[in-house]
Structure 1
Amino acid sequence: MTGTATIPIIDISAEGADQAQVAKELVDAAVEYGFIYVRNAGRDISTEQIENAFNLSRTLFASPLVDKQRCKIEKNNQGWSGMHTETLDPKTQRVGDFKEGFNFGAFENGKATQPIPQSIEPHQAQLAAFREACHALCQKLLLLFGIGLGVDPPTFFTAAHTPEQLSGSILRFLHYPPPSATPAAEPADVRAGAHSDYGSVTLLFRLRGQAGLEILESGTGTGTWAPVPVTPPGTENDAAPPILVNIGDLLSYWTNGLLRSTVHRVSFPTAPSSLARGESAADPRYSIVYFCHPTDATPLTPVPSARVEAAGSSGVRRGGDNSSNPHAERRVLTAAEHLQMRLRETYLQMYADGDAKVD
């Protein structure tokens, strides 16, 4: 591994910024890299909200096992998943991922619509507000993508992601135990297998000093794994690390592969060359993710953009959603159908009977 990942840093909320120029920079980054650091500075999601969310994550994962098991993940992609439940790269992984997660679906009137551990029940309104803030930031990004791609109308993407309708959008808490707590791990094992995300855009929140995330820089499946620093150069003095944004397979598929869905993983980095400066993998790793999806019934018909149309006519697919993936086949899917295919690949045991459907 040589050096850290090359990912642009973009401030989408800077006062007085030219929106068209910001949109162009955002699209260029999504086309070339598929990952973008978005400088937050508390303008879109407050530093306090992020800190509180991480505190709730620690509380949730410290809950008694029996309480977490009561909220076991279901085929609606909501609930708790324990160690090795997920297998994000089934073709190469010996065992499932070395992590546990909790997926939150929609909230109604500040209340969860699914079972949650008792330890966080008093904080449902806080979780609902954080999830809402994440979706609002995604809507801002999607509008900028519409502007930067010359979509007619530019609100094409935002109109398909209305929070009032059912969708696959998920707020996810993740906990990766430290290597000292996973002695069964072998050198080739990973904390989260190589994969590309499923939806439109993903927001990733991380804590300073916690290593592990790597991207496949070429995006072809044969390139070099490069660590993704939590705090890239130039953001060290920010109140919070920048939010990492990446393009999901659905948005790549929707834009004829123009926007790159980049393969990434979470490893057990140990060698100095696999660690960004000031980061370590010795401690537990926590991250928070918001996966933004269009409403379930949204047909993934071609995006009304000359640039997207040109990408389709070229026949070139890039990143995670390329021609080697069966779900990249060019036919009209709904957002729900696209998500169902990916969930079946990830939760092998849950769908082992071959007849299961995502609710």
Structure 2
Amino acid sequence: MASTKSPNIPVVDFAGWNTEPNRQQIAQDIVAACKNVGFVYIVNHSLPESMLDEAFSWSRLFFELPQDEKLKAPHPEGWAVHRGYSWPGLEKVSQAMSTGNDKDKVDQLRDVTDIKESYDIGSDENTAQPNQWLPEYSLPGFRDFMLRFYWECFRVGGEVLQALAVGLELDENHLLEKHSGHNNQLRLLHYPPIPAEAIETERAARCPAHTDWSSITLLFQDDCGGLEVEDVSSPGTFISAAPIKNVIVMNVGDLLQRWSNDLLRSTSHRVTLPPLPDRFKGTDCMTRRRFSIPYFMSPDSDSVIECIPCVGEGAAKYEPITQAEYNKMRASMQY
């Protein structure tokens, strides 16, 4: 697949969201970005920069632990519970695996290992998705901070959902009211250094092209780069979503696309080699290590998602479905 160098992702300034003169413009800008591209840079949001810096510091500390320490909080077997530590090779992300039923194709895709490790966190009150915490002595303070960060991300994500609703000419809480925050997912991601040649020859991958399943994703990146977004005007071509300090990269998930009757766009994206000239580290052409933190906003599991009558074009394209039913349909092929 081809790549281009120039980003084409809109920027929305969220300053003044809580002041009436700015709300309509912010809402209209964010809906336009989600209709036309599906991705948007959000600047001047209300998540404190100091808290974001601390989240990356904790993430680095976690992934620098010995493997046997990280495995004290393992991802449970199977796809039903999506919490805890996933070691390199456990998870395979691919749009083909999420939507297809061809076992031979799935096995072929699994032959190309995703070289990344992750740690997933949710609400401690979600008994259907129990958190897998490290013992406190392994990383003192980690659990306390991550729970505070989880709920701060929910607060900021709630403002984004309100802006989308206002931009769609709905009551500002129309989308947010199905999100209590207990069904969201905070993910710490680490892409360790590997030979760049392994990715170039497709013997390994970082994170192949896929869409997210949720309502929206808030993504925080380090300065490494490597995230690419499909150019909707040229399918199969990807553009760089270059990292910008303290900026949220927000994207629409498949469930919100379905909810909006395809008015809002869930766009394919991937993580590949960092852009030149920062692609390699050292004379042995190893990729730079990369850290990112996505936060997936999902409706409560028993909430019914059906096409909003006043948005989208024509009749409803999708039958009503609960979030739990939708998640099961999408998750069972990933692990």
For structure 1, which segment, 257-266 or 124-133, has the greater mean C-alpha deviation from structure 2 after superposition?
A: 124-133
- Give the deviation of 1:98 after TM superposition: 1.1
d(CA) in 1 for partners of 2:66, 2:247: 32
For structure 1, which segment, 262-271 or 10-19, has the greater mean C-alpha deviation from structure 2 after superposition?
A: 10-19
Matched, 1:34 2:53: no
d(CA) in 2 for partners of 1:176, 1:193: 13
- Given the alignment, which residue of 268, 273, 280 partners 2:273? 268
- Given the alignment, which residue of 112, 126, 150 partners 2:169? 150
Matched, 1:226 2:239: yes
d(CA) in 1 for partners of 2:197, 2:31: 43
2:147 counterpart SS class: helix
1:175 counterpart SS class: strand
Give the aligned partner of residue 100 of structure 2.
none
Amino acid at match of 1:337: E
Superposition CA RMSD, Å: 2.6
d(CA) in 2 for partners of 1:69, 1:246: 31
d(CA) in 2 for partners of 1:136, 1:268: 32
Contact 2:89–2:115 (CA under 8 A) maintained in structure 1: yes
TM-score, normalization: structure 2?
A: 0.83
Amino acid at match of 1:341: M
Give the aligned partner of residue 91 of structure 2.
86
d(CA) in 2 for partners of 1:254, 1:10: 23
d(CA) in 2 for partners of 1:273, 1:69: 32
Where structure 2 has 5 or more consecutive residues not aligned to the other structure, the ranges are 98-104
1:179 counterpart SS class: coil
- Given the alignment, which residue of 288, 292, 300 partners 1:287? 292
Contact 1:219–1:263 (CA under 8 A) maintained in structure 2: no
Give the aligned partner of residue 49 of structure 2.
47
- Given the alignment, which residue of 220, 225, 232 partners 1:211? 225
Amino acid at match of 2:121: F
- Given the alignment, which residue of 145, 152, 165 partners 1:133? 152
Contact 2:16–2:22 (CA under 8 A) maintained in structure 1: no
Matched, 1:11 2:26: no
d(CA) in 2 for partners of 1:281, 1:185: 11
User: Number of residue pairs matched?
Assistant: 306
Matches within 5 A, 1:110-259: 114-118=131-135, 119-151=138-170, 153-163=171-181, 166-167=182-183, 169-180=184-195, 185=199, 187-188=201-202, 189-208=204-223, 210-218=224-232, 222-231=235-244, 240-259=245-264
d(CA) in 2 for partners of 1:64, 1:255: 44
Which string of whole-angstrom CA distances, capped at 9 and with x for unpartnered residues, describes residues 166-200 of structure 1? Answer: 42x100000001124x8755522420011000100
d(CA) in 1 for partners of 2:221, 2:91: 20
Amino acid at match of 1:155: N
Where structure 1 has 5 or more consecutive residues not aligned to the other structure, the ranges are 232-239, 316-329, 348-359
Contact 1:39–1:243 (CA under 8 A) maintained in structure 2: yes
Amino acid at match of 2:322: T
Contact 1:60–1:117 (CA under 8 A) maintained in structure 2: no
Which structure dedicates a bigger proportion of its chain to strand? Answer: 2
- Given the alignment, which residue of 120, 123, 131 partners 1:106? 123
